[in-house]
Amino acid sequence: MKQTIIKRLFESFGELERAISAARVTLESKQQPPKELLDHIEMYEEILDKQRTLATALCGHAALGEWDEVARHVRLINGLSAMIRDDARDILRGVTPALEPQEREMMLS
């Protein structure tokens, strides 16, 4: 059971990484992509790296049966994911006219 949950966690990082990459490709395909948005994408990539580090530490705590630390790491990882999601949605609301509807939908899904 634990391994399944941890496997899903790392798979979700892969999904997030693909979404961030798709956002970067979409922005970089524009004539003059806003530097501010590219900076946000870079921040998301750094957050994803931090999440992977936290998840690796979580595995160690789980192996030792340190469930309070496991729960703490899960909350931190979830909080970082929520931060990316909320920031990305706020940004997309602001650039809605600059993106095609399919691009917006892809970035929000």
Enter the pTM of the model. 0.76
Using DSSP's 3-state secondary structure scheme, residue 95 falls into coil
25-47: average pLDDT: 90
How many folded domains does the chain comprise?
1
The answer to whether 55 and 13 are in contact (CB under 8 A) is yes
What band does 90 get if pLDDT is binned at 50, 70 and 90?
A: confident
Q: Which residues touch 95 (CB under 8 Å, ≥6 apart)?
A: 34, 37
Q: Cβ atoms within 10 A of the Cβ of 36, count?
A: 10
Q: Does 102 score more than 60 pLDDT? A: yes
33-52: average pLDDT: 92
Q: Does 15 score more than 60 pLDDT? A: yes
**Better pLDDT: 88 or 104:** 88
**Better pLDDT: 105 or 54:** 54
73-91: average pLDDT: 88
Query: Could you tell me the residue range of the domain that residue 33 belongs to?
Result: 2-108
Q: Which residues touch 100 (CB under 8 Å, ≥6 apart)?
A: none
What band does 54 get if pLDDT is binned at 50, 70 and 90?
A: very high
Euclidean distance between CA atoms 58 and 12, whole angstroms:
15
Q: Does 4 score more than 90 pLDDT? A: no
